């Protein structure tokens, strides 16, 4: 039996009220969306919070809306809806596929896209009960002074483990945060910080309200690949999202590859577009360039013993998943998943 | 303490519970509805699955307060609902699990059956793959799943008969 610690529960009926509460309680408060990450972490006593601010009663931050050249998704939209929405499947296949592979069916009904973006980092030494952590000796992320992953390490390297993060990065998503002092829109690339204790630049008091994607046409190809032990429930041992946009002559106009479940931040691999640009669909040159991208990702990605799964195995899987996911995007056969 | 107004298995109930209690705790320790099982208590196993407006969700990761305004179905609700619709005997899903011997210790069963029920309500003629996907958030440490799959398929054929 894992009990939640006691806290004061707030259920504001407007965004303004929610922002005021968050501003008032700051670091002593946590936002509750679907609760599928927050509740286990609270039960494990990973946070010291006295206040929980539920977004459940807020109107208007759920659902999908076309705004000009953008597709806007409310932060409270359940992942099950993101996975099955025809517009997301058409304009952002990597996102639909990533959402379809988060956790298990019940989590996708409860868990929200905003909560997935804001997911806390994961590490096999922290996502444990207080009793377990106390017995082993606490670590930097909570209550301790050492890191069990990097000996002598002074920085927490717990892994960003949110499946939708790399998909949103390849799609050039931007995020809208609202707080008591105003509204801020940032490219998702600017959200991440290389610190496992808190891997996000969102300021205390800021609530994520919207995820905005530029609409893409028929020349857009995307896919998501996920390595995990079982076919369901498990967090990624490696997640890989890709985007390939073609021009009218079926040559690569632009491309991006992003990976998650490595270190504290999801990684957008730099230089992918330069390797693929201008190459024609079906050509040997494109095949060779895909292999070069896979090798580039292998060079850049260095998994650690932060999450389950041997780190050398996970590293060897990097080029395999990058290659397969790029091909799946071009063939329209994603997601890449063993089941 | 908070006074919660809940709709459980069609009944409107008023129940007082501390704000940090999960729906699972409210069901088991305030309402005595112990059919909903407390397994891992952290979202890993699916034993605590209930239907929220017909969709399977985990009651160990939902605050009691969050259940307000939604129709909650627990395993205790299947038989009365079946009978209220004029059905005889057990609910087709429960009956199929019984006939197929789709259990050993039985701990995963309430969650399994509710996930199966939700699938059949949405898709009365599922394939084996559909069933595997729909039940993939419910772990069973005993049966090896074969009879569970058979039971869900049997329940699907019976649901068709009923329709
Ligand atoms: C067994 C299990 C398996 C899982 N497997 C996966 C997996 O494979 N892949 C994966 O990506 N995730 C997985 N998860 C985690 C989780 O289910 C999802 O990431 C889900 O999308 C989280 O969304 P939520 O709405 O439930 O977030 P919550 O738990 O409500 O919130 C998560 C965090 O974000 C903050 N937050 C939420 N919404 C906002 C907002 N709008 N503004 C500001 N802050 C906010 C919260 O304060 C909290 O810190 C798993 C969880 C469990 C229990
Ligand atoms: S990476 Fe190190 S400091 Fe961070 S959670 Fe894991 S063990 Fe703790
Ligand atoms: S008890 Fe809720 S998922 Fe295990
Ligand atoms: S019958 Fe024992 S867990 Fe499924």
Inter-chain contact A104–B65, Cβ cutoff 8 Å? Answer: no
Indicate whether A59 pLDDT > 90: no
Per-residue pLDDT band for B159 (boundaries 50, 70, 90) equals low
Domain count, chain B: 2
Burial pattern B66-82, b for ≥16 Cβ within 10 A else e, equals: bbbebebbbbbbbbeeb
Whether residue A122 lies inside any domain: the answer is no
Tracing tokens 């050249």 back to the chain, one arrives at A69
Indicate whether A116 pLDDT > 60: yes
Measuring CA to CA, which residue among A41, A102, A53 is closest to residue A77?
A102
CA of A112 to the centre of ligand 4 (A): 30
- Who among A9, A106, A233 is closest to B57 (CB)? A106
Same domain, B82 and B151: yes
| 3-state secondary structure string across A193-207 | CCCCCCCECCCCCCE
| 3-state secondary structure string across chain A | CCCCCCCEEECCCCHHHHHHHHHHHHHHEEEECCCCCHHHHHHCCCCCCCEEEECCCCCCCCCEEEECCEEEEECCCEHHHHHHCHHHHHHCHHHHHHHHCCCCHHHHHHCEHHHHHCCCCECCCCCCCHHHHHHHCCECCEECCCCCCCCCCCCCCCECCCCHHHHHHHCCCEEEEEECCEEEEEEHHHCECCCCCCCECCCCCCEEEEEEEECCCCCEEEEEEEECCCCCCCCCCEEEEEEEEECCCCEEEEEEEEEECCCCCCEECCCHHHHHCCCECCCHHHHHHHHHHHHHHHHHCCCCCCCCCCHHHHHHHHHHHHHHHHHHHHHCCCCECCC
Whether residue A201 lies inside any domain: the answer is no
Indicate whether A199 pLDDT > 80: yes
- The stretch B17-42 carries a mean pLDDT of 98
Query: pLDDT, tens digit, for every residue of B67-126?
Result: 999 999 999 999 999 999 999 999 999 999 999 999 999 999 999 999 999 999 999 999
Indicate whether B158 pLDDT > 80: no
The domain in which residue B129 lies consists of 78-162
> Chain B residue with minimal CA distance to A127?
B42
ipTM: 0.97
Domain boundary pick from B24, B54, B74? B74
Whether residue A145 lies inside any domain: the answer is no
- The stretch A146-153 carries a mean pLDDT of 97
Give nearest CA residue, ligand 2 atom 4. Answer: A156
Residues A19, A29: contact at Cβ < 8 Å? no
The domain in which residue A41 lies consists of 1-59
Query: In terms of DSSP bridges, do strands B49-52 and B71-73 run parallel, antiparallel, or are they unpaired?
Result: antiparallel
A227 vs A234: CA distance, rounded Å:
9
- Who among B21, B41, B56 is closest to A2 (CB)? B41
A79 vs A81: CA distance, rounded Å:
5
B137 vs A107: CA distance, rounded Å:
8
Query: pLDDT, tens digit, for every residue of A264-302?
Result: 999 999 999 999 999 999 999 999 999 999 999 999 999
Q: Which of B105, B110, B114 to mutate to test the pocket of ligand 4 (most atoms within 8 A of CB)?
A: B105
Cβ contacts of A325 within 8 Å, gap of 6 or more: A223, A224, A225, A240, A241, A242, A257, A334, A336
Domain boundary pick from B21, B53, B74? B74
Domain boundary pick from B48, B74, B100? B74
Is any ligand 2 atom within 6 A of the Cβ of residue A139? yes
Same domain, B51 and B83: no
pLDDT the model gives residue B163: 42
**CATH code: domain of residue A51:** 3.30.43.10
- CA dihedral for A262, A265, A271, A273, sign (positive or negative): positive
CA of B36 to the centre of ligand 3 (A): 10
**Cα dist. A16→A29, A77, A112, A180, B70 in Å?**
16, 19, 20, 7, 25
Same domain, B54 and B67: yes
Domain boundary pick from A59, A84, A107? A59
CA of A130 to the centre of ligand 4 (A): 28
Whether residue A229 lies inside any domain: the answer is yes
Tracing tokens 């890993």 back to the chain, one arrives at B44
Indicate whether A221 pLDDT > 90: yes
pTM of the model as a whole: 0.98
Domain count, chain A: 2
**Rounded mean pLDDT of chain A?**
97
Same domain, B99 and B158: yes
Whether residue A49 lies inside any domain: the answer is yes
- The stretch A200-219 carries a mean pLDDT of 94
The secondary structure of B99-142 as a DSSP string is: HHT--SS-TTHHHHHHHHHHHHHH-SS--HHHHHHHTTT---SS
**CATH code: domain of residue B125:** 1.10.150.120
Whether residue A67 lies inside any domain: the answer is no
Give the Cα-Cα-Cα angle A27, A30, A34 (nearest 5 degrees).
165
**CATH code: domain of residue A293:** 3.30.390.50
Indicate whether A256 pLDDT > 70: yes
Whether residue A235 lies inside any domain: the answer is yes
B 63-92 residues inside an 8 A Cβ radius of A: 63, 65-66
**CATH code: domain of residue B33:** 3.10.20.30
Q: Which residues of A touch B70 (CB under 8 A)?
A: none
- The stretch A104-133 carries a mean pLDDT of 98
Per-residue pLDDT band for A216 (boundaries 50, 70, 90) equals confident
Indicate whether A153 pLDDT > 70: yes
Indicate whether B162 pLDDT > 60: no
Same domain, B55 and B86: no
Whether residue A97 lies inside any domain: the answer is no
Tracing tokens 């259920």 back to the chain, one arrives at A11
pLDDT the model gives residue A217: 83
Same domain, B21 and B96: no
Measuring CA to CA, which residue among A323, A330, A334 is closest to residue A289?
A323
Query: In terms of DSSP bridges, do strands A252-260 and A220-227 run parallel, antiparallel, or are they unpaired?
Result: unpaired
- Who among B22, B52, B137 is closest to A4 (CB)? B22
Per-residue pLDDT band for B161 (boundaries 50, 70, 90) equals low
DSSP code, position B22: B
Indicate whether A103 pLDDT > 50: yes
Same domain, B92 and B155: yes
pLDDT the model gives residue A155: 97
A55 vs A113: CA distance, rounded Å:
13
């Amino acid at each position: 039996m894992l009990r939640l610690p006691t806290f004061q529960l707030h259920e504001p009926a407007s965004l303004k009220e929610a922002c005021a509460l968050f501003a008032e309680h700051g670091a002593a408060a946590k936002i509750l969306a679907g609760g599928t990450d927050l509740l286990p972490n609270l039960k494990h006593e990973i946070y010291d919070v006295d206040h929980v601010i539920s977004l459940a009663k807020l109107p208007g931050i759920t659902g999908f809306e076309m705004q000009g050249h953008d597709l806007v998704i409310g932060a409270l939209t359940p992942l099950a809806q993101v996975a099955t929405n025809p517009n997301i499947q058409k304009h952002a296949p990597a996102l639909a596929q990533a959402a379809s592979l988060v956790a298990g069916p019940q989590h996708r009904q409860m868990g929200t896209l905003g909560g997935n973006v804001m997911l806390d980092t994961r590490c096999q030494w922290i996502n444990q009960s207080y009793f377990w952590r106390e017995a082993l000796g606490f670590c930097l992320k909570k209550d301790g002074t050492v890191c069990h992953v990097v000996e002598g390490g002074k920085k927490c390297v717990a892994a960003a483990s949110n499946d939708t993060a790399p998909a949103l990065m390849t799609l050039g998503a931007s995020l809208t945060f609202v707080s008591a002092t105003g509204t801020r829109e940032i490219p998702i690339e600017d959200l991440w910080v290389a610190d496992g204790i808190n891997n996000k630049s969102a300021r205390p008091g800021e609530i994520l309200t919207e995820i905005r994607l530029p609409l893409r046409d028929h020349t857009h190809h995307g896919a998501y690949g996920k390595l995990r032990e079982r076919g369901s429930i498990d967090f990624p041992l490696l997640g890989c999202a890709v985007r390939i946009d073609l021009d009218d002559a079926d040559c690569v106009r632009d491309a991006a590859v992003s990976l998650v479940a490595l270190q504290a931040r999801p990684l957008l691999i730099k230089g992918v577009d330069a390797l693929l640009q201008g190459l024609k669909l079906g050509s040997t040159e494109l095949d060779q360039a895909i292999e070069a991208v896979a090798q580039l990702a292998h060079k850049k990605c260095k998994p650690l013993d932060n999450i389950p799964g041997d780190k050398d195995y996970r590293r060897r899987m990097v080029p395999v998943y990058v290659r397969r996911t790029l091909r799946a995007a071009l063939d329209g056969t994603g997601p890449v998943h063993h089941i | 303490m908070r006074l919660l107004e809940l709709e459980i298995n069609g009944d409107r109930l008023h129940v007082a519970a501390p704000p940090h209690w999960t729906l699972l705790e409210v069901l088991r320790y305030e309402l005595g509805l112990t059919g909903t099982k407390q397994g891992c208590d952290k979202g890993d196993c699916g034993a605590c699955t209930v239907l929220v407006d017909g969709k399977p969700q985990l009651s160990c990761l939902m605050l009691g307060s969050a259940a307000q305004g939604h129709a909650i179905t627990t395993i205790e609700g299947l038989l009365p609902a079946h009978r209220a619709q004029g059905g005889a005997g057990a609910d087709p899903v429960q009956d199929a699990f019984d006939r197929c011997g789709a259990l050993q210790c039985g701990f995963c069963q309430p969650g399994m059956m509710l996930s199966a029920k939700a699938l059949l309500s949405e898709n009365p003629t599922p394939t084996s793959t559909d069933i595997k996907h729909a039940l993939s958030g419910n772990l069973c440490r005993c049966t090896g799943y074969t009879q569970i799959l058979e039971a869900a398929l049997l329940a699907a054929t019976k649901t068709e008969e009923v329709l």
